[in-house]
Each structure stands twice: as C-alpha cells, then as structure tokens.
Amino acid sequence: MLEKNFNPESFEKNFSFEIEASLKKPTAEPFMVLLPPPNVTGSLHIGHALCFTLQDIVARYKRLRGYDVLFQPGLDHAGIVTQLLVEKHLYDSGAEKGTLTREQLLKEIWLFKEDSSNVIINQMKTLGISCDFSRLRFTMDEGGKKAVSKIFVKLFEDGLLHRGKKMVNWDPLIKSAISDLEVVEKEVDGHLWYLKYIFADSSGHIVVATTRPETIFGDVAVAVNPEDERYRHLIGKDVVVPLTDRRVKIIMDQYADPEKGTGAVKITPAHDFNDYEVGVRHKLPLIEIMNLRGELNENVPELFRHMDRFEARRNVVELLEKTGLLEKTEDVKQKVPYGDRSDVPLEPMITRQWFVNMEKLAVPAISAVEERKIRFIPKRWENLYFEWLNNVRPWCISRQIWWGHRIPAWYGPDGQVFVAESLEKANEKAVQFYGKNRVELVQDEDVLDTWFSSALWPFVTLGWPEETPEMRRFYSKMIVVTGFDIIFFWIARMIMMGVYSQKEIPFPDVYIHGLVRDEKGRKMSKSKGNVINPLDLCQKYGADAVRWTLASLTLPGRDVKINERSVETGRNFLTKLWNVIRFAKMNGCTYNKEFEISDVAHPAAKWIIFKIKQMVQDVEKSMGEYRFDEVTRHLYHCLWDSFCDWYMEFIKPILQQQTMTDVEKQECNLLPHTLLKKDIRDTTSWAIVQFLHVLYPVAPFISKKLSGEMGVLEISWPNIPNVAVDFSDAIAEVEFLKTVISSIRSIKQYLHLNPGEKVNVRIESACYGDISIRHENILEKMAGIRFGKICSRTIAVVINGAVIHMELEDGVDILSEKDRLRTEVARHRKERDGGIARLTDSGFIDNAGDDVIKEHRRRVEDMEEKIRKIENLLQSLEDVV
RNA sequence: GGGUGAUUAGCUCAGCGGUAGAGCAUCUCGUUUACACCGAGGAGGUCGGCAGUUCAAAUCUGUCAUCACCCACCA
C-alpha cells in the first residue's frame, strides 16, 4: 500500500534511471539531444534547471515514441569565468597575487573542475536529467583538444584565420582581449569636460569636449567637420595638447559631428575605435599611453606616469582647472563598455591577436536557415540570427589567460609562425621552412576563447575527428535547446563551424526558451538576492514538482516568471495524483494485462477511456509543437477534472459496495455486480497506467514509482484505438449526467439548501428518460438528491432538452429563484437576439461558411427552447406563490 | 538611431477571424472513509487607445501610447 502522505523525497532519491545506451536500436530513427554544457564554475541555477528539464522531457518522450535517443551530456571549461573564480579562491585563502606559475594555477583549476563537475552531475541526477552519463564529455578533454587543433589548423590553411595587431576590447582586470559579444554597455553618471586647446601661434583656442580627459596625452589631432562653418577657417592650424607641449593639427573629417559637444573632437587613435579609423584615414601616428593594466605609461608627462586610468583622470582634470584650460564641466549620462565577466570599464587597445574571418563562414550558415534546413522555434529568433550574421565582424579568439585550449601555433626565432596540430608537426614545418635540422620553437602563450571549442560541440561529442558510428548516425539529427542569450555566442557559431567542417548542418531544430525571472519579472542575480536555487526547490517540493512547474510555465518566446507558489501548484497536482492512485489501490485496482477496451460496458468506463485517448492525442500534438505549457495543461485537466472530479465519483458507488443485497444487484442491471466491479477496477487501473506513462517525460520519478505500484514496470507510450465513434452514446450519456449534476448542485446552492440534505427530484427527458434509473446511485450521491414522489411545490431547471423538477422545501426563497430564472432568461434572450440578427443579415448569409451558419441556427434554436422552458417554469412559480 | 516582443478577470498568462478561457487569489457552502496540498457553487473582463479591412475582429492592417529586451552609436 502507498503511504498516506505524498513524500517525493522518499522515492526520488532512490531512483537512478537506467539510460538505454544509444545505437542499441539500429532500426529505430536516431534522435539526439545536445545538452548545452554547463560551466564548471560551481552549481546549476534555475535557468539550467529549466533548460535541462525541457530537454529531458523531449528526450524521454522521444524514447517512448520509439526513437534511438542519444542525450549527450558535457561540461564547459569556461575559460575566463573559471580562472577568475579559482584565482579569487586562492587569493581569498592567502595566496599572493602574481606568485603562481602557469602550471600551479592550472593544477588548481583542474582540481576545482573535478569538484564542480561532480556537484553538477549530481544536481542533474537529482533533477532527473536522463542523459547518458557514460558519454560525458568535457570541452578540454583529449578529444576536444584534438578537434580544436584540427579545426584551428584547417581554418588557418583555408585562410580564414589571421594574426595581427589590431584594436580590440581590452579588459584591464583580466588583462586579456575579449570579443565584441563579451562587451556590455552600462549607463553611468559621467562628466563632459570642455577643454581649451590653445593655438600654437597663441592667437586663440578651440574648445573640445571629452568624457575621457586622461587620454589627451594620446591626442594626435583635433577634428572638425568640413561642413562646419564655425571651424572651417581653423583647418590646418596647429594647436597645443593641454598639459603638454605637443603640437597637433586641426584636421577635417566627416566623423566630427557638429551637433555633438563643441563640434570639435580630439583624436586619440590608440585608445578609441572611431579615432583609430580617423587616424588611419589621415595617416596619423599612434600614441599608446596605457599599459595592459590600464595604467598610464611613459608616453605621458612624468607627473601622471603609473597612475591608474581613473586616478589619472581626476588628476588631469584638477590640473586643467588650475591652469585655466578647463572651460566648463557638464554632468552627463553616458554609456560605457564594460567587461561582462570582470565588470570593469574596458579599454580599446592595440594588441596582437588571432582573428577568425567570420564573413565567409557566415554565408552558408545564413543560407542553411534561409533554406529552412535549420529552423528556430519560435521562428522570430531567426531575424536576430540573420541580423547578427549579416553584420558579423572578425572574431577575436585569443585570450591572454591560462585556462583554456592553448593556441596551436609555434614561433621560430624570427617570429615566423607555424600552425600545426602538435609540436612535432610544427617542428616538421619549421625544419622544412628553415632548412635546418633543429629549430627552437615557442608555443603561443595565449589560449582560445571558450566559445571556440563550444562551437565544435555537435561533432566533438560524437567522437570527431575519429570516424565513429555515432557521428554517422546522430550528426544533423539533433535538437539544441537553449536560451536566446547565447544565439550569437553558441548557436550561430555551431552552425558556422558545423557547416564549414562537416559540410552538413549540425541540427535541424533549435528551440529557444526564455529567461527565468523572479515573480516581478526581474532577472535573478545574487546582488538582488532574488535567486531561486532549483535544488532547494527539489528538496522542498520534489524534482517532479519542479520539472512540472517549469514545463507548465514555458511558452515559446516568453520569459518564465517563477515563484514558490507556482511550484506549489505542481506539488499539489502530484499530491492529487498520489492520493487518487492510493484510493484506487485501496479499492483493489491493479493493472490487468488481459484488459480489453472493447469489453468495457459501463458508460463511465467508456467515457474515461475516451478522455484518456483524447488527452494522449492532445499531448502528442503539443509535444510536436514543443508546447510544454499545453502538455502539462492537458495532463492536469485530464487527471483533476475528468478522472478525479467526475470519473472517480461515478465509480465510487460501484467500487465501495462491499456487500450487495439482491435488490441492489438488480439495480446494477448492466452486469452482474462482481463482473461490473472487475470491469471498473480494470478500466481504472488501465486509465491510471496510461496517464502515468504520458506523464512520464515530465515527471519521471512519480510516474515510475506509481506505475510500479500499479504492477507495470516498463513505461511505454499508450496505443489506444480511436473510440470516439464506438463509444459515442456512452460519452453523450455521461456528458448529460455531468450537466444534470452540475445544474442541480448549482440550484441547490443558489437556494441556500443544505448540501447534505437530499431533495426530491424528477427528471423529464426525451433521450435519457431512464437516466434516473440507470444512474440512481450516482445521481443521488453526487447531486445530493433523492428520486421519489414530487409534490406540487416544485421548481425546475432546463438542460439540453431535459427538465429537472425539484421539490421545494418549506421556507425556500422562491423570490430569489425567480430572480435567478429571470436573469438567466434575459441572458438567453440576448444571445438569441444576437444570433437572429446575424441570421437575418444578408451579408452574413452570403459570406459565412455553411457550418458557421448551421452552428448559429443551432444556437438560436437551443436558446429558443431554453427560453420557452424557463418561461414555463416562471409561470409555474407564479402558481406556487 | 535600428529592431523585436508584450499590453486579455485582482495577479500570472492561454486563445490569434465566428458571441471570452485556465491557474492562483477572492466570495459562499461543505469535515459523505483518496485528497483541506480537498470538494461543491459563485462573482469578476466594452481583450491598451484610435482608425481601417471584413457579413463578422481579442484575433488581420495601420497608427499612437506604455513597458520590456536586443543591436548600434554618443564628444
């Protein structure tokens, strides 16, 4: 017997799912789910829980539907984040900054990575994520390394890779270049300083506005717009850069915007992207004034050397003010580029880096989506994808950190580069190049952007560059489920690299889910303190409840707002399931393998079979469209409304009658009682098992557990014949019964009758005349009535062509009943009149479809009949009073 | 500056041409041996504004407003 209390902890913990290995079903359709590898930086957050749950639902569903499913897990080394995190740990525990060698730090990170991986994998198992952990991969494992080198070499040889000195976004805290995508704009309160640049001939000055006065030392010109009347006469004049004795020219360039600042702009090519372009156009020199830590260098006046950039700014402004070169200061809101990981303002710096030429790679990636070989769900994300790829810029892939794939490039003594998959191969190339037997080669110090290895994930995980059966079977047969925030970082690059290296798309489907936010719609963040830990939720409510809730809140293209109350809804649903199955078991329901749908006789049994069939179809449709919200809704209503609130109540009298008198046996005139009871038990067990199996992808723990309790160990997708036609009479009868019960309940409550007190009732119906005989037990119990003699004081209710007469107790409030009927008749009249208006409108008759017109006619007739009957009732109530 | 999405019951959201739905909250009643993490019954909305298309608009088209996000730029 099941425990009285539903306690997910008692069984979820003990479950470990045996994941069927892939490739074991050679005749089945292959299907792969590529799990976005979480960073090895600690633990999973609620966003992972959502993402992984959705994938697990898909994977389990596909397995049930007979696919050969490979659900591929992995972990990402997450270069910068992980290194920063481990460094912080080390410093926090006493290590001195800058004392660790590369080898020492890497050793520490590997240790940390092991711990993190274990935590993450356990969390995934707690959530019930059914990936094939025996195939777990890490972006920096041996296979990953091989693949990365191979692709790097291929890109290099194909001319898609180059190394060069260029201006990049530099993170002074990490002391590394980062890519455009890792730049976030932040709006901050800043100042706009108006500086006087004195003419070299002392004949006056020009005022230039800047937000970065510390960069004046890198100024090589002042630019004005050629159209700008104010300054045209000054072009070519020399001015003196403030606080220095350096002379620069006033030049003309379209870049100077007369609308902004004073219309004259200082040009600092070494520290600004736009100025760099201007510098190139005018062949201006580059003056670098900062080192890689963001401190001013020897190219600035001695006073400011070694100052941090912000300290320098304060000091420069102070001195400018003192020397009278500061005209005025304005407060402004400005957008400043920050590093997304380090959260410090970035510096544009000229450094030597490796770049991938993205334009060529983008072309086939764009057409793959244009040609519908790859589709985004929801589709609108394709616009974002196109927009980015159409304007894609070179991808800076080198990082000046230690944790990551070391760039497979070696340099000879003269700086000649040899790109090769290994030192040996680089050596061969070098030997050939120099025509010597021995060449000292030094490997590039830098590592690759983490996303470089992530971009190869679809084929790396399948064993590439080895030729593997998995590669042949699953490549381009997968789905990727992820958040929109990594469409550029990951999705686009996987498509580019996949098409480039494999000559085939990696996956046809990309499902994009929303971000998980708190109940107010805010992003979750540690600083806001609104982070919800999925594992805490699992502990409190059970993993199934968490999974259920996440799935139920997932709508395509919408963010998921979550709070604990929404998880309670999921938990309540599972409790309901637990209880109803406990009840069924208490009444002797266990799964009967011999059960045949066609043998069922009782209308309620036929009805629930139909309802289950309908639910299965609905879930199949919704799964096909990745409508996880609909999937849970169908399950919810099927169980709670149809199964619990109606079906179980219908069959209680049958299940619970322990001993029957002969008279009672006669009443159950459908079947001999023992047979009827068995019939109902079997149907109930069957329905429960079907339900649990459809529930399985969403809530596997409870599904497995209760299915086992019902005597079914194997989960399989229901295969139910279409019963709608065969069972149509029974279905209609039960629907009628439901309406009768609801109506009587409604009236009784309206009249403030005590629900416990039975009211005498007579049912008058053309098609279901004998319903009161056939379903006496059910009606009496569920509607709180008694069939018997009806005295003259009666009221009645009209439903679907039937009239239910109810005997009035003394003291019943007839006036309010009359009010109720009048309101009802008025509502029906309004509806009828609306319908008639339509049906007499020639425009409607001429244009609307036949079925629509028919439906309107039917409704009008329906209303007419109801109105007629209610009017009769009102008349009869007049007689009573 | 360019783009995308949202605006429907108190809240969170479905519905996306044929007379408005769910969950939660709320109100009334109910402790009948599955379940109070429950049952029964109610109340609650001119579907952001305006214009248009249509016999018919929450649903399609324009436009405006508000909010959110993305991209680009700023002296």
Give Cβ neighbours of residue A307 (< 8 Å, ≥ 6 apart): A295, A296, A315
HEC readout, A570-610: HHHHHHHHHHHHHHHHHCCCCCCCCCCHHHCCCHHHHHHHH
A868 falls in which pLDDT band (50, 70, 90)? confident
In percent, how much of chain A has pLDDT > 90? Answer: 41
Q: Which pTM was predicted?
A: 0.92
pLDDT of residue A769: 65
Nucleotide nearest to A5 (CA to C1'): B35
pLDDT of residue A402: 93
In whole angstroms, what is the distance from residue A162 CA to residue A231 CA? 41
In whole angstroms, what is the distance from residue A207 CA to residue A197 CA? 6
Q: Is the pLDDT assigned to residue A149 strictly greater than 80?
A: yes
DSSP sequence for A447-491: EE-HHHHHTTHHHHTTTTTS--HHHHHHTTSEEEEEEGGGIIIII
Burial of residue A430 (number of CB atoms within 10 Å: 0-12, 13-18, 19+): buried
A114-139 burial, b for 16+ CB within 10 Å, e for fewer? eebeeebbebbbbbbbbbbeebbbbb
Say how far A752 CA is from B28 C1', in Å.
Answer: 9
| A577 CA to centre of own chain | 27
Q: How many CB atoms lie within 10 A of CB A682?
A: 21
Give Cβ neighbours of residue A109 (< 8 Å, ≥ 6 apart): A82, A83, A86, A403
Round the average pLDDT of chain A to a whole number and report it: 87
CB A212 within 8 A of CB A314: no
Nucleotide nearest to A629 (CA to C1'): B14
Q: What is the pLDDT of residues A382-403, one digit of tens each?
A: 988 998 898 888 899 999 999 9
Burial of residue A590 (number of CB atoms within 10 Å: 0-12, 13-18, 19+): middle
Per DSSP, which regions of A719-827 are E strands?
759-765, 785-787, 794-799, 802-807
CB A674 within 8 A of CB A596: no
Vertex A549: Cα angle to A547 and A551 (nearest 5) = 70
Nucleotides of B under 7 A from a protein CB: 3-5, 12-14, 18-19, 22-24, 28-35, 37-42, 54-56, 69-75
Coil, helix or strand for A515?
Answer: coil
Say how far A521 CA is from B70 C1', in Å.
Answer: 17
DSSP sequence for A15-51: ----PPPTTS-TTSPEEEEEPPPPBSSS---HHHHHH
Name the protein residue, with chain letter, whose CA is nearest the C1' of B3.
A384
Higher pLDDT: A319 or A771? It is A319
Burial of residue A24 (number of CB atoms within 10 Å: 0-12, 13-18, 19+): exposed
* Beta pairing partners, A345: A338
Instruction: Please give the ipTM for the structure prediction.
Output: 0.95
C-alpha closest to that of A70 among A34, A95, A41, A103 = A34
Asked whether the CA dihedral A445, A448, A449, A450 is positive or negative, the reply is: negative
Nucleotide nearest to A568 (CA to C1'): B37
Element (H, E) at A563: none
Q: Nearest 5°: phi and psi at A193? A: -100, 135
Say how far A61 CA is from B68 C1', in Å.
Answer: 34
pLDDT of residue A759: 84
A663 falls in which pLDDT band (50, 70, 90)? very low
Nucleotide nearest to A834 (CA to C1'): B19
Residue with tokens 């209303």: A863
In percent, how much of chain A has pLDDT > 70? Answer: 95
Q: What is the pLDDT of residues A54-67, one digit of tens each?
A: 999 999 999 999 99
Give Cβ neighbours of residue A248 (< 8 Å, ≥ 6 apart): A219, A220, A221, A222, A238, A239, A241, A267
In whole angstroms, what is the distance from residue A708 CA to residue A696 CA? 12
Nucleotide nearest to A753 (CA to C1'): B29
Question: Residue type for A137, please?
Answer: R
pLDDT of residue A18: 64
Say how far A751 CA is from B67 C1', in Å.
Answer: 46
Q: What is the pLDDT of residues A226-244, one digit of tens each?
A: 888 888 888 888 898 888 8
Kindly report each contact of residues A122-125 with a partner whose C-beta sits within 8 Å and lies 24 or more positions away, as own/partner: A123/A43, A123/A44, A123/A534, A123/A535, A124/A44, A124/A52, A124/A73, A125/A16
pLDDT of residue A880: 59
Coil, helix or strand for A431?
Answer: helix
In whole angstroms, what is the distance from residue A564 CA to residue A545 CA? 11
pLDDT of residue A673: 56
In whole angstroms, what is the distance from residue A672 CA to residue A660 CA? 11
DSSP sequence for A331-375: EEEEEEEEETTT-SB-EEEEEEEEEE-HHHHHHHHHHHHHTTSSE
C-alpha closest to that of A284 among A261, A268, A298 = A268
In whole angstroms, what is the distance from residue A259 CA to residue A533 CA? 50
Question: Residue type for A351, please?
Answer: T
In whole angstroms, what is the distance from residue A864 CA to residue A641 CA? 30
Average pLDDT over residues A84-90: 88
Q: What is the pLDDT of residues A758-799, one digit of tens each?
A: 888 888 877 776 777 778 888 888 888 888 777 766 777 777
Q: What is the pLDDT of residues A39-86, one digit of tens each?
A: 998 788 899 999 999 999 999 999 999 999 999 999 999 988 899 889
In whole angstroms, what is the distance from residue A604 CA to residue A643 CA? 10
C-alpha closest to that of A215 among A146, A281, A294 = A294
Q: How far is CA A766 from CA A57, A599, A745, A788, A818, in A?
A: 48, 28, 22, 19, 26
Say how far A338 CA is from B8 C1', in Å.
Answer: 40
Q: What is the pLDDT of residues A601-631, one digit of tens each?
A: 889 999 999 999 999 999 999 999 999 999 9
Nucleotide nearest to A262 (CA to C1'): B75
Say how far A847 CA is from B55 C1', in Å.
Answer: 6
**Pairing mode of beta strands A442-443, A264-267:** unpaired
DSSP code for A221? E
DSSP sequence for A277-322: HHHHHTT------B-TTSBB-TTS-GGGTT-BHHHHHHHHHHHHHH
Say how far A612 CA is from B43 C1', in Å.
Answer: 32
Q: How far apart are the first and last CA of chain A?
A: 57
Say how far A220 CA is from B63 C1', in Å.
Answer: 49
Q: Nearest 5°: phi and psi at A106? A: -60, -40
pLDDT of residue A627: 94
Say how far A515 CA is from B48 C1', in Å.
Answer: 25
Q: What is the pLDDT of residues A565-589, one digit of tens each?
A: 889 999 999 999 999 999 999 888 9
Say how far A868 CA is from B29 C1', in Å.
Answer: 31
DSSP code for A442? E
Give Cβ neighbours of residue A179 (< 8 Å, ≥ 6 apart): A169, A395, A396, A397, A449, A451
Element (H, E) at A140: none
In whole angstroms, what is the distance from residue A253 CA to residue A277 CA? 11
Element (H, E) at A726: none
Name the protein residue, with chain letter, whose CA is nearest the C1' of B41.
A746
**Pairing mode of beta strands A442-443, A409-411:** antiparallel
Helix %, strand %, coil % of chain A (to 5): 50, 20, 35
Nucleotide nearest to A781 (CA to C1'): B32
Say how far A659 CA is from B71 C1', in Å.
Answer: 75
pLDDT of residue A336: 87
Q: Is the pLDDT assigned to residue A162 strictly greater than 50?
A: yes
Q: Is the pLDDT assigned to residue A662 strictly greater than 60?
A: no
Q: Is the pLDDT assigned to residue A707 strictly greater than 60?
A: yes
pLDDT of residue A670: 45
In whole angstroms, what is the distance from residue A269 CA to residue A277 CA? 7
Nucleotide nearest to A746 (CA to C1'): B41
